[in-house]
Chain A
Amino acid sequence: MIDAAAIRGRFRERGFIVNEAFAMALQLVLALRKPLLVEGPAGVGKTESAKVLADVLGTRLIRLQCYEGLDALTALYEWNYPRQMLRIRMSEGEGGSLEDREAQIFSETFLLKRPLLEAIVQSTPPVLLIDEIDRADEAFEAFLLEVLAEWQVTIPELGTIRAEHPPYVILTSNRTRELSDALRRRCLFFWIPYPALDEEIAILHARIPGLSERLAERIARAMQVLRDLPLQKAPGVAESLDWARALISLHRDHLDAEALEQTLGCVLKVREDQQALDSHPEALRAVLDETGLQPGGRSLDTDFGLGSVSTPRT
């Protein structure tokens, strides 16, 4: 059993920074074998945390992406009807009793395992990621309660399949609707907020090793400011990383007004939010670099005006 400190270390090795509280929550998932419901704003790394956990545990990640209209069969299993039809037609002349023919076509050969069943039949516990559970409707949530409680599935034609090694389950939610108390009570809960300044700088360095200290700090500061503005879609960590990569591809090693204008689309993705930033021109002034902006709009320490040509500098 790995403890919270080891989890932090292994996540860090994989470029994912987790704080002590989240590491403890993950430790509890492993120790108590309870699902972990992770909520937080979009882009803070909820889904990624499950992927990294699977990597850390050296096990398989099985993902169930929820959406409105997702039903139990789509999540659990389906029969391969075209193949069954083909078999019925091919065996029409063979004779045999109806029961034999039925047993033949409703065997595992014709079973299409969907994520939940796939997670149940693994020989080692996988990480089951049930992503954006809030997008599924209440009926599916109720069905999920049953699966999470029993870890067994009954297929009428085959019988009951019980998990010998129940998976580690991570559920994520963006809070587009309120989840039921019943589901919450079956899960551990962790809220991932936007990272603090130091955490965000650490994340930027961990995920983009070549990023300069100064640029990482400027991006993180700008993000803190932007998240305080009245935006419809506040930028998450994913946007910070995209922004940093965009600036690097433009050979920018600092963040000035021109760089901001060129790359704003990496950060603010709603027109009203860009207008909101325009109406608060003073907001980012303190974190933008004044230096480096040369006549002509290009900084001398970039690529001498080659613009967005992605040429690695030595």
Chain B
Amino acid sequence: MTYPFATLPGNLAAFCAMLRRDYGFRAGARELQDAARALEIVNLADERAVRDALRPILASRLEHARVFDAAFDRFFRAAGGPPPRQMPSGRPIESRKPGGTAPGGGQERDDDADVREPSGAETAGGGAVSGVPGTNGEARPALLRATSSPLEAEGAMPVLGPADRAWREAASLLLSRMRAGLSRRWRPARRGQRFDLRRTLRTSLHTGGDVVMPRWRARPRRRPRVGMLIDGSRSMTPYVAPVLDMAVALASSTLDAETFTFSTALRRVTREVRRAAAGERRRLHLHHAWGGGTTIGACLREFVRHHGDRLLGRETFVIIASDGLEVGDPRVLGAAMGQLSRRSAAIVWLNPLLATSGYEPTALGMSAARPYVTTFASVANPADLARLARTLRI
């Protein structure tokens, strides 16, 4: 058994560091402290108890909980070796060799978003994009090769960068035109529909209990949420750059924008888009979510199933950027669009082919989706987006 440090706190800190570095956990000093306290009350000889005690503290969301056991095994079990009989104690153990593999057999890697954002939901379509680094460092490159799309091999994966001012202004305009209705929350307001008895009485104390200045409450507008799904299939390659700019511009204007790409698999790229909105420029590695054929229906269905509960609602505006060239079953697309339509405020379909003269959305995929689409548009530049915002009727 090989542990990097001789003491339990040292190993715990190293484990937290590995979770942060390789799995994107937010395990900071507070979590480390809680973990140390938790280990004081469990039997350290009982591996399951240790695992069960650390998981609720270090994994703060489902995506992390799903990969925690694999990370735990990777760190606390020797790669490929037999299960440990006991957890590390204060006894000195073999230290980490310089230049060797990281604890548990993993290798130091660069900041690869595919690894740092493990999610079972996202892997459902992507298959081998497991988010769980292999326990065997050598196996990983082969795995990645097997999951890469042809475009990745050609270096044609998209590059995300900050959006310019025109895009940001157009995106802000679009958000301002999205009517998500009124919140149920009543807030103090200068004019409103509901009399604010509490504030009125508080104010009236200054005038001996006589009401001079009535106070009011009103319901503010809901903040719209945006779910953007970008078709990254090969047929969309010439048109996708402005759509990505639009996604970054939306992320610059609101924190309530989620972005996904899909081709034959769906992938959440919200984090990468937000980084781009913050000024970072980087190439995405999207595997099957970019550059292949298009199974729009299956990907939308996966979106509804795995992300619908969290993202869809009456304040959510779904924006789908796709040419509608579906290679899957159109009935699946129709059913998924039906669900999306029922569970969102509106669906905006950005079809680049719409700008082509004489184009009619008669492809099987578009025919299946059309009944559920609120607005069709084509966005190739900020002016198009501003025009869409001004004409939006939702």
Q: Which residues of A contact B (CB under 8 A)?
A: 1, 3-4, 20-21, 24-25, 27-28, 31-32, 34, 36-37, 39, 67-71, 73, 78-79, 81, 84-85, 88, 98, 102, 137, 139, 174-178, 181, 184-185, 187-191, 230, 232, 272
Partner of A24, one of B49, B186, B339: B49
Contact among B56, B183, B185, B209 for A28, CB-based, below 8 A: B56
User: Which of A27, A69, A188 is B184 in contact with, Cβ under 8 Å?
Assistant: A69
Given A32-B34, A185-B30, answer yes or no on A69-B56 (Cβ-Cβ < 8 Å). Answer: no
B353 contacts partner chain A, Cβ-Cβ < 8 Å: no
**A184 — which chain B residues lie within 8 A by C-beta?**
26, 60-61
Bound CA–CA A137/B187 (angstroms): 13
Q: When A185-B26, A230-B305 are in contact, do A27 and B60 touch as well, CB less than 8 Å?
A: no
Contacts of B30 in A (CB 8 A): 185
A28→B38 CA distance, assembly (Å)? 7
Are A230 and B301 in touch, CB under 8 angstroms?
A: yes
CB-contact partner of B205 in A25, A81, A102, A176, under 8 A? A102
Which residue of B184, B205, B339 contacts A232 across the interface (Cβ within 8 Å)? B339
Could you list 12 examples of A-B contacts with CB < 8 Å? A28-B57, A31-B37, A68-B185, A69-B185, A176-B310, A184-B26, A184-B61, A185-B31, A188-B56, A189-B56, A191-B65, A232-B339
Question: Could you tell me if B185 and A85 are in contact, using CB atoms closer than 8 angstroms?
Answer: no
| Known interface pairs A25-B56, A181-B60, A185-B28; A67-B184 also in contact (CB < 8 Å) | yes
Does any Cβ of A come within 8 Å of B45's Cβ?
no
A36 to B60, CA, bound (A): 10
**CA–CA, A185 to B309, complex, Å?**
22
Question: Which residues of B, 48-69, contact A by the 8 Å Cβ criterion?
Answer: 48-49, 52-53, 55-57, 59-62, 65
A81:B38 contact, CB within 8 angstroms: no
Given A88-B209, A189-B60, are A32 and B38 also a contact pair (CB < 8 Å)?
A: yes
Main secondary structure of the interface of B (DSSP, over half): helix
Q: Which of B31, B197, B309 contacts A176 (CB 8 A)?
A: B309
**A32-B37, A32-B38 in contact; A190/B56 too (CB < 8 A)?**
yes
How far is it, in angstroms, between the C-alpha of A272 and the C-alpha of B184 when the chains are bound? 29
Q: What range describes how many residues of B lie at the interface? A: 35 or more
Question: Is B142 engaged at the interface, CB distance under 8 Å to the other chain?
Answer: no
Interface pair A189/B59, CB less than 8 Å apart: yes
Q: Is B42 engaged at the interface, CB distance under 8 Å to the other chain?
A: yes
Q: Find out whether the CB atom of A84 lies under 8 angstroms from the CB atom of B201.
A: yes
Determine whether the beta carbon of A34 is less than 8 Å from that of B34: yes
Separation in Å of the A32 CB from the closest CB of chain B? 6
Q: In the complex, A232 Cα to B37 Cα: how many Å?
A: 41
List of B residues within 8 angstroms of A67 by Cβ: 184
B38's nearest neighbour on chain A, judged by CB, is: A28
List, in ascending order, chain A residues with CB within 8 A of B42's CB. Answer: 24
| B60 in contact with A175 (CB, 8 Å) | no
- The 9 tightest CB contacts between A and B, nearest first, are A69-B184, A69-B185, A24-B52, A184-B60, A188-B56, A21-B52, A25-B56, A189-B60, A68-B184
Nearest CB on B from A97, distance (A): 12
B20 to chain A, nearest CB (A): 13
Q: What residue of chain B has the Cβ atom nearest to residue A176's Cβ?
A: B309
- Asked if B49 contacts A189 (CB within 8 A), the reply is no
A137-B183 contact in complex given A25-B56, A32-B37, A81-B197, C-beta closer than 8 Å: yes
Please measure, in the bound complex, the distance between the C-alpha atom of A20 and the C-alpha atom of B209, giving whole angstroms: 60
Whole-angstrom CA separation of A20 from B201 in the bound complex: 54
Question: Which residue of chain A lies nearest to B41 when distances are taken between CB atoms in the complex?
Answer: A31
Given contacts A78-B198, A184-B60, A189-B61, 13 further A-B contacts (CB under 8 A): A21-B55, A24-B49, A28-B57, A31-B38, A31-B41, A34-B34, A70-B185, A71-B186, A84-B201, A102-B205, A175-B310, A185-B26, A185-B28
Give the residue name and chain of the B residue nearest to A29 (CB).
Answer: B56
Asked if B65 and A189 make an inter-chain contact with CB atoms under 8 angstroms apart, the answer reads yes
- For A188, the chain B residues whose CB sits under 8 A away are 34, 56-57
